[in-house]
Amino acid sequence: MTTTQRLSILLWFRIAKFYHQSNKLSNEHVKAYDLSISQFDLLAQTYANQPISQMDLAEKLLVTKGSITQMLAKLEQRELIKREQQWRVKHISLTEKGKELMEKALPDQSAFQSSLFSSLTTEEQKQLNHLLKKLQKGMTSQSN
């Protein structure tokens, strides 16, 4: 194994470890709102893009059609979202209860997420963002 390959594997492990730790901490944080981080993400995307089709929502969340259906059913039972069928398309929007929840949870979770990067300067955060975008573009070209 070359030095470059070892470094690449180390970077992959660090990114994966950060992602998993961040998700774990985020899940603990949004528990105060009786949500999982997946449910929070779904509500946040709906809040920002409503009404949104179920298919577009699944694409934004990078989940399968089956898993989004389950998540939507749970949030619908809690009266946080509503689904409306328009011809062949299901549109998702927040209920009043869902909007109220997001108006509390969204600023709180945003501040929490921001705190995870507080050990970096603003310039370092910009650089990290640039580098991660570059990595994503490289992965996209490999999948084609």
86: domain CATH number? 1.10.10.10
pLDDT in tens, 45-85: 999 998 998 888 988 888 877 788 888 999 999 999 999 88
Q: Is residue 95 part of a domain?
A: yes
Q: Is residue 136 part of a domain?
A: no
CA distances to 6, 70, 76, 128 from 12, rounded to whole Å, are 10, 31, 37, 14
Determine the Cα angle at 128 with ends 61 and 109, to 5°: 45
Determine the structural domain holding residue 50 and report its residue range: 3-119
Q: Is residue 14 part of a domain?
A: yes
pLDDT in tens, 93-138: 999 999 999 999 999 999 999 999 999 999 999 999 999 999 988 8
Domain count along the chain: 1
Place of tokens 């990595």: 135
Q: Is residue 86 part of a domain?
A: yes
